[in-house]
Amino acid sequence: GNPAPVVESTGTGGGFKAFCGGIGPDFADVTGASRAIKESEVKLCADNGVTDITEALIGYDGLSIAHASSAPDMDLTEEQIFKALAAELPDGKGGFVANPNKKWSDIDASLPSVDIVAFGPPPTSGTRDAFVELVMHDGCKDLPGMADLKKADEDKWNEVCSRMRQDGPFVEAGENDNLIVQRLESDPNAVGIFGYSFLYENSDKLKAVKVAGVAPDFDTIADASYPVSRPIFFYIKNAHRDVIPNMNDFLAEYVSDGALAADGYLPERGLTPLSDEKRAEVQKAVTEAKKLGS
């Protein structure tokens, strides 16, 4: 019987700008983030009177690249993945060419001489956003000329490092991960991209492609030794807690065992959960409004 919270998608940096803008009904109560708040953002908040903030690390976002259990083992670097799936690659002369790589062995002779086929999420998917940020950008940044391009024209860098190829090797498979599993089982040379929890649920049919020598599991995602992982936070404006109707109830639900525990509904949707000890620590911090930095 109460109004639903208004949720806006801004990205982490944009979220902190909205959150740190001030106190009152025109400013956000809570912001989500895929990294910890920066010192500059803490200062922005303080400059606008937002001085009492609680930080909640709720888990980790881990993406996986997987293929059929019957497929040969693969171990890829982020640079190799970028060279397989990017629309354009640097030509070494300051320009770009359409991605010429058709087989994995075109990228590196040590890789299998099979066609590159990757089933992945569409642009509307948060999984796609995370894959671009965590894999494509990391794989792109050290290629010849890309550091200079980022300094000179960050928008162009972002475009080149984000755009997936559309000439066949990368296939947008929609939001139905089960369909990707069927396709991977029928083509052992193909790989699929989805949240780690889905690979975990289908470990009888699929296995991980290692990234930089590390396979994803709950431990390697949580300690960030698996490269395609990131922490997931939210931040609370404590001055709003007792003013915004139902805000405390909302926060209690957000950090409840029903939401965050290994069998909770957020891990079911792809969150890599915290340890029981860490979850209890976060629950205490949120319910007791622990101030950031204290």
pLDDT of residue 175: 65
User: What one-character DSSP code corresponds to residue 134?
Assistant: I
With a cut of 90, say whether residue 12 has pLDDT above it: no
pLDDT of residue 61: 83
- Per residue in 78-132, pLDDT (tens digit) is 999 999 999 999 998 889 999 999 999 999 999 999 999 999 988 877 678 889 9
pLDDT of residue 124: 74
Q: What is the band of 230 on the pLDDT scale with cuts at 50, 70, 90?
A: confident
Distance CA 106, CA 113 (A): 8
Q: What is the band of 58 on the pLDDT scale with cuts at 50, 70, 90?
A: very high
- Per residue in 139-182, pLDDT (tens digit) is 999 999 999 999 999 999 999 999 999 999 999 987 677 888 88
> DSSP string spanning 262-285?
TTSHHHHTTEEPPPHHHHHHHHHH
C-alpha to C-alpha distances, 206 to 18, 66, 71, 77, 173, nearest whole angstrom:
41, 6, 9, 20, 17
Distance CA 37, CA 153 (A): 26
Question: In one letter, which amino acid is 232?
Answer: I
- In the chain, the domains with their CATH numbers are 12-61+230-288 (3.40.190.10), 62-229 (3.40.190.10)
In DSSP terms, 67 is beta-bridged to: 207
Query: What 3-state class would DSSP assign to 170?
Result: strand
How large is the average pLDDT for residues 262-275? Answer: 86
How many alpha carbons lie under 13 Å from residue 123 in its C-beta half-sphere? 5
How large is the average pLDDT for residues 205-226? Answer: 93
- Per residue in 65-79, pLDDT (tens digit) is 999 999 999 999 999
pLDDT of residue 219: 87
Please report the sign of the dihedral spanned by the C-alpha atoms of residue 275, residue 231, residue 11, residue 161.
negative
pLDDT of residue 194: 86
